């Protein structure tokens, strides 16, 4: 488990409206840590704890423009500013963003070193909307991308698969690796929230990276059984065909039915079942080298339950699920159609 107590104190957005910026706050980490502690997970003998160290400039600018790094730094020194849509800066935002990116680096490094087989980075703010030169959607530096480029630059890893399971498309991550065939980005997300949406089927990469960006846009209200069905149709073959050396899972829990930002209908047990599939396939393809990195998830009730489901599954321990609801027995035709289209696209490239 990779985290830091500072995540429970830093980067409290001072916004004048009760909108998305207020949802990404220290209570996400504090309440999750309390719940994991109450479950006995933090005291489990199989859990190793690692404190984050801040990512340095060299780490960040492997991915982002130096200009972006400096702007977030300077506005944090000023104490106030907006660096992108729904990305406000306060006095310690830069420190929190560097610490979050550093947490992702720590997670992949400990997996690569073999000190743990699987890591979970309990970090904030999230990162997957941050692109090469822009911040957006509560994100400042792209934690996952920084970690992947660190692995390639410092640990000589050649092929890495990024699996993004968030309510929203990982548009920043896709942009960063859009022409890169050494990093495959596979994103499962909702669609239809915005008139100018990103994360469509047609966004498959460009140049040498064509075919290495795969989007799975699922309709609003998708239930866990349909989500898992699509996941099982697509993820195993993609991971096997790409032959990734490590699997980096950007796990957002705003797909939970109670989340104030997302529009899906998943629940904690769905995350446990997805995790079982990921662990099984990861062991088969990349020797179990898996790093889970926290992205979204803004319900302060559902986020601890959801992360507890994932971490308990990693540890192979049983917990109770307190958020069970029924519904969504049939697989919608549109989910089947999207899945078939992606399988057709995959055949052309992998």
**What strands, in cross-sheet order, belong to the sheet with 183-191?**
50-51, 2-3, 118-121, 290-294, 246-251, 160-165, 183-191, 213-219
pTM to 2 decimal places = 0.96
Contacts of 72 (CB under 8 A, 6+ apart): 83, 89, 93, 94, 97, 135, 140, 141
**Is the predicted pLDDT of residue 58 greater than 50, yes or no?**
yes
11 an active-site residue? no
**pLDDT reading at 26 higher than 60:** yes
pLDDT at residue 70 is higher than 50: yes
Provide the number of structural domains found in the chain. 1
106 vs 90, more confident: 106
CA pair distance 39, 47, nearest whole angstrom:
13
Mean pLDDT of 223-249: 97
Q: Report phi then psi at 13, rounded to 5.
A: -60, 130
Tell me how far apart the alpha carbons of residues 25 and 154 are, in angstroms, rounded to a whole number.
32
Domain region containing 26: 2-349
Q: What is the pLDDT of residue 196?
A: 54
* 154 has pLDDT over 70: yes
Q: State how far the Cα of 331 lies from the Cα of 220, in Å rounded to an integer.
A: 13
Average pLDDT over residues 245-274: 97
Over residues 78-105, the mean pLDDT reads: 93
Q: Is the dihedral of CA 222, 226, 230, 236 positive or negative?
A: positive
Which tops the pLDDT comparison, 195 or 257?
257
pLDDT at 216: 96
Predicted pLDDT at 18: 55
Query: Tell me, what CATH number does 247's domain have?
Result: 3.40.800.20
- Examine residue 343 and say whether the peptide bond preceding it is cis (omega within 30 degrees of 0): no
pLDDT tens figures, 140-149: 999 999 999 9
- Among the ranges given (115-119, 157-161, 181-185, 342-346), the one the predictor scored with the smallest mean pLDDT: 342-346
Inform me whether the pLDDT recorded for 192 exceeds 80: no
Share of the chain above pLDDT 70, in %: 96
For residue 139, the 8-state DSSP code is B
Selecting among 129, 168, 189, 256, the annotated active-site residue is: 129
Average pLDDT estimate for 276-293:
98
pLDDT of residue 338 exceeding 90, the answer is yes
Close Cβ partners of 66 (under 8 Å, ≥ 6 residues apart): 57
- Which pLDDT does position 195 carry in this prediction? 46
- Residues in contact with 296: Cβ distance below 8 Å, sequence separation at least 6, in sequence order: 126, 138, 166, 167, 168, 252, 253, 254, 259, 261, 262
Asked if the model's pLDDT at residue 21 lies above 70, the reply is no
Residues with Cβ < 8 Å from 107, sequence gap 6 or more? 2, 50, 119, 120, 121, 147, 291, 292, 293
Give 258's DSSP letter.
T
* 8 A C-beta contact, residue 341 and residue 67: no
First to last CA, the chain: 33
- On the question of pLDDT at 17 being above 70, the answer is no
Q: What is the mean pLDDT of residues 292-315?
A: 97
User: Quick one: pLDDT at residue 100?
Assistant: 98
């Amino acid at each position: 488990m990779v985290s830091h107590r500072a995540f429970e104190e830093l980067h409290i957005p001072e916004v004048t409206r009760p909108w998305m910026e207020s949802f990404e706050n220290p209570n996400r980490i504090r309440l999750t840590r309390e719940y994991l502690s109450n479950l006995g997970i933090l005291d489990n003998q199989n859990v190793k704890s690692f404190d984050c160290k801040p990512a340095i400039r060299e780490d960040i600018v492997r991915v982002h423009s130096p200009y972006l790094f400096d702007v977030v730094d300077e506005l944090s020194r000023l104490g106030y500013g907006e660096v992108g849509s729904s990305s406000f800066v306060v006095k310690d935002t830069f420190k929190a963003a560097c610490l979050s990116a550093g947490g992702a680096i720590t997670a992949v490094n400990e997996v690569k070193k073999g000190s743990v087989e699987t890591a979970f980075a309990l970090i904030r703010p999230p990162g997957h909307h941050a692109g090469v030169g822009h911040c957006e959607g509560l994100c400042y530096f792209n934690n996952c991308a920084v970690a992947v480029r660190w692995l390639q630059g410092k640990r000589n890893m050649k092929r890495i698969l990024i699996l993004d399971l968030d309510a929203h498309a990982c548009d920043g991550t896709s942009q960063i690796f859009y022409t890169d065939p050494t990093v495959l980005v596979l994103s499962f997300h909702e669609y239809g929230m915005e008139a100018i949406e990103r994360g469509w089927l047609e966004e498959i990469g460009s140049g040498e990276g064509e075919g290495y960006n795969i989007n799975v846009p699922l309709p609003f209200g998708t239930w866990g059984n349909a989500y898992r069905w699509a996941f099982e149709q697509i993820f195993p073959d993609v991971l096997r065909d790409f032959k990734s050396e490590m699997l980096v899972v950007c796990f957002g829990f705003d797909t939970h039915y109670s989340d104030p930002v997302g529009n899906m209908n998943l629940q904690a047990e769905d995350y446990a079942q997805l995790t079982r599939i990921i662990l099984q396939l990861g062991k088969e393809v990349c020797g179990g080298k898996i790093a889970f990195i926290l992205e979204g998830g803004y319900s302060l009730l559902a986020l601890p339950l959801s992360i507890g489901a994932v971490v308990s599954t990693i540890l192979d321990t049983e917990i109770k699920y307190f958020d069970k609801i029924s519904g969504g027995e049939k697989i919608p035709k549109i989910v089947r159609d999207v899945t078939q289209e992606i399988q057709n696209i995959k055949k052309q490239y992998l």
